[in-house]
A and B are shown apart, each in its own frame.
Chain A
């Protein structure tokens, strides 16, 4: 045995013993189709529960239907005309926009501030993360029912506490301005934990050496936060912004349980109106038109956000 042969022993199976791979036309087709077959169930699922309902809603928005009648006459843009001429629609759009403009920055600002304090891996911070996340996994209906009791004017906990402190009763759910703030508060309380957890993950991804470098340069805490932390959690902020704006425009359960959109329409969100028009008043055509408008609105809003804010997002340190 040569020295070379001793250095490179024969493999267990010699390469030339492997039978040549014969690719038949059917086998080639199967190989091409394999990835599509893997994703087909998911595509079918999404199509059934997302794309088909969207197309179906679009179709229904041009028809008159009450869920019960066998006929669905085509009425053109009549449902859209009715909706855009209705003061309830404009009121709901105004209320939902105000809700979004206040609740989204409030949620993100609070979440980032709290996440900055809870990012360190200590026992209290782990406990607080869990405690703050708890409302996110609690039933929204339960939360809304409990807060209905808390904010009841004559029988609620909030006014009982204020009473003991010497203050008068506050009509939390009867005052049109206050009731919207109560909705914002409850929604923030419910969603904050989720935002905090996402922000903590984002903050933990910021390289420590950047903080070390700014410390060497003598950067102050606020300066470090503004110049290092904030830009580097922009991808997280952008993600949460997109998600929370969509959520805010689709808020429903809290409002439906606590106020039914009242008092006198002061908390009547778009989805609450959609539910009322479609499922209480049986006007499926107009309800679908509202769903389509909301869909288009959210798409446009997401596009604008991606153009205005998305460009400022950097995914690498």
Chain B
């Protein structure tokens, strides 16, 4: 009996082993690089749902760092042939990768996908570069204005303040700083780069024209917006200089209840709500001269170096991540904009809209949200802009002189880089 049982067991084990190996070989693995640390829970849920619906596809998600880290690591990974199959790419910086043939042209996939009819117009637009689709939007955002009503109340502002113009924002910031400065509380966080771009747009201008790619850094309205932003730190002293040299400090101070107002991406909504609870109020961006906000965030691109079957599997995932169901999970869990028109019809999104006041502000801004220019020189411009902003905000250089110089250098770089 014993002698018969042993070979049977061995045979059954071998059969099971080969079956497992066979199954593992049949599985397609998609290596996906992303940048979502705080929002990881919502992403994990989307991936789990996808894998449950597609058991033959395994998504290996890897947190790489922020958008800059992803770009840097991707550059090193490509020649080393260790690049992922799918990657999150910030909306203004994927042009270079598209130009270089690193990203797959997703147009054939996208055109055949019913998803395209469900996406908002703005969401379709951010994925298009030189007439072709290179990324499918995932986490879209606009800047919004957050304030801590507890801080405003302590500063004596109990009625809902008007925060529509630069003067309105400055006036409230001054009141907070005057009343609570002794406690180490400042009126407003120094605007980060995305917020600066939004404030320039609300002053009826742009950094680079999104249609013609003309450099508008030295246009009068851009200069005026920068002059106002720099004055918050240098002249009015209503914003901490710490947030100029490290933009995360401004956000962290707001979350710690040390700052009254913050202009930042709607992607910060969940974190801000967790940090300051019911004291969080979200308002649209100021409309100083016009109402106009930039669309930020990122989309998922697929690398052309991956085998065709992996690209197909990756697109299945990309499309699933942008579906109404997944987008509703993402919107409710993070505060990023819905990119799918049907997302807000889903139960989870409807609940979020009903129970999380302020989560809908970014959606209401979509009427005047615009995509930004994304020629390759944008990477250079955004990298150099930090130095320029610091020089102006810290009072080391005059705003007009700096912006004119910056514009000239950006034009030279655009010419040199041939874009």
Q: How far is the CA of A172 from the CA of B72 in the complex (A)?
A: 29
Inter-chain contact A280/B68, CB cutoff 8 Å: yes
Inter-chain contact B96/A282, CB cutoff 8 Å: yes
Answer whether residue A14 sits at the interface, using C-beta atoms and an 8 A cutoff.
Answer: no
Write out the residue numbers on chain B whose beta carbons fall within 8 Å of the beta carbon of A264: 387-388, 390-391, 394, 396-397
Residue of A nearest to B259 (CB): A154
Looking at chain A, what size class is its interface with the partner chain? 20 to 34
State the Cβ distance, A63 to closest chain B Cβ, in Å: 14
Q: Which of B50-58, B150-158, B241-249, B355-363 sits within the interface?
A: B241-249
Inter-chain contact B97/A68, CB cutoff 8 Å: yes
The A-B contact count (CB < 8 A) is: 85
Answer whether residue A94 sits at the interface, using C-beta atoms and an 8 A cutoff.
Answer: no
Write out the residue numbers on chain B whose beta carbons fall within 8 Å of the beta carbon of A276: 383
Write out the residue numbers on chain B whose beta carbons fall within 8 Å of the beta carbon of A280: 68, 71-72, 379, 383
State the Cβ distance, B387 to closest chain A Cβ, in Å: 5
Q: Which of B75-83, B202-210, B267-275, B339-347 sits within the interface?
A: B75-83
Inter-chain contact B246/A148, CB cutoff 8 Å: yes
Inter-chain contact B394/A152, CB cutoff 8 Å: no
Inter-chain contact B244/A66, CB cutoff 8 Å: no
Q: Do A282 and B396 contact each other (CB < 8 Å), given the known contacts A68-B97, A153-B241? A: no
Contact among B78, B241, B391 with A171 in the assembled complex (CB-CB below 8 Å): B241
Inter-chain contact B394/A67, CB cutoff 8 Å: no
Contact among A66, A153, A262, A279 with B387 in the assembled complex (CB-CB below 8 Å): A262
Inter-chain contact B184/A281, CB cutoff 8 Å: no
State the Cβ distance, A94 to closest chain B Cβ, in Å: 15
Answer whether residue B139 sits at the interface, using C-beta atoms and an 8 A cutoff.
Answer: no
Answer whether residue B253 sits at the interface, using C-beta atoms and an 8 A cutoff.
Answer: yes
Inter-chain contact B75/A152, CB cutoff 8 Å: no
State the Cβ distance, B337 to closest chain A Cβ, in Å: 27
Inter-chain contact A153/B397, CB cutoff 8 Å: no
Inter-chain contact A152/B242, CB cutoff 8 Å: yes
Write out the residue numbers on chain B whose beta carbons fall within 8 Å of the beta carbon of A156: 242
The 8 A CB mask of B59-86 against A (1 = contact, 0 = none) is 0000000001001100110110000000
Inter-chain contact A153/B240, CB cutoff 8 Å: yes
Answer whether residue A69 sits at the interface, using C-beta atoms and an 8 A cutoff.
Answer: yes
Interface centre among B253, B388, B396 (most CB of A within 10 A): B396
Answer whether residue B380 sits at the interface, using C-beta atoms and an 8 A cutoff.
Answer: yes
State the Cβ distance, B196 to closest chain A Cβ, in Å: 15
Inter-chain contact A173/B387, CB cutoff 8 Å: no
Write out the residue numbers on chain B whose beta carbons fall within 8 Å of the beta carbon of A261: 387
Contact among A69, A173, A282 with B379 in the assembled complex (CB-CB below 8 Å): A282
Looking at chain B, what size class is its interface with the partner chain? 20 to 34
Answer whether residue A288 sits at the interface, using C-beta atoms and an 8 A cutoff.
Answer: no
Answer whether residue B386 sits at the interface, using C-beta atoms and an 8 A cutoff.
Answer: yes
Answer whether residue B102 sits at the interface, using C-beta atoms and an 8 A cutoff.
Answer: yes
Q: How far is the CA of A70 from the CA of B78 in the complex (A)?
A: 11
Q: How far is the CA of A173 from the CA of B246 in the complex (A)?
A: 10
Q: Do A67 and B76 contact each other (CB < 8 Å), given the known contacts A154-B240, A154-B242? A: yes
Q: How far is the CA of A259 from the CA of B386 in the complex (A)?
A: 11
Write out the residue numbers on chain A whose beta carbons fall within 8 Å of the beta carbon of B102: 68
Write out the residue numbers on chain A whose beta carbons fall within 8 Å of the beta carbon of B388: 264
Q: Do A281 and B240 contact each other (CB < 8 Å), given the known contacts A68-B78, A68-B100, A262-B387? A: no
Answer whether residue A107 sits at the interface, using C-beta atoms and an 8 A cutoff.
Answer: no
Inter-chain contact A174/B96, CB cutoff 8 Å: no
State the Cβ distance, A75 to closest chain B Cβ, in Å: 11
Q: How far is the CA of A244 from the CA of B394 in the complex (A)?
A: 32
Contact among B96, B186, B240, B394 with A66 in the assembled complex (CB-CB below 8 Å): B96
The 8 A CB mask of B90-110 against A (1 = contact, 0 = none) is 000000110011100000000
For residues 161 through 210 of chain A, which have their beta carbon under 8 Å from a beta carbon of chain B? 171, 173-176
For residues 371 through 388 of chain B, which have their beta carbon under 8 Å from a beta carbon of chain A? 379-380, 383, 386-388
Q: Do A155 and B96 contact each other (CB < 8 Å), given the known contacts A263-B245, A264-B387? A: no
Write out the residue numbers on chain B whose beta carbons fall within 8 Å of the beta carbon of A70: 101
CB-defined A-B contacts under 8 Å, sample of 16: A67-B75, A67-B79, A68-B75, A68-B97, A148-B246, A154-B253, A173-B246, A174-B241, A175-B394, A259-B245, A263-B244, A263-B396, A264-B390, A264-B397, A281-B380, A281-B383
Please name the 10 residue pairs, one residue from A and one from B, whose CB atoms are nearest each other, closest first.
A68-B100, A264-B391, A67-B75, A174-B241, A154-B240, A264-B390, A263-B390, A279-B72, A262-B390, A153-B242
Q: Which residues of B contact A (CB under 8 A)?
A: 68, 71-72, 75-76, 78-79, 96-97, 100-102, 184, 186, 240-242, 244-246, 249, 253, 258, 379-380, 383, 386-388, 390-391, 394, 396-397
Q: A173-B246, A174-B242 are in contact. List 8 more A-B contacts (CB 8 A).
A: A152-B242, A154-B186, A175-B394, A261-B387, A264-B396, A276-B383, A279-B72, A279-B76
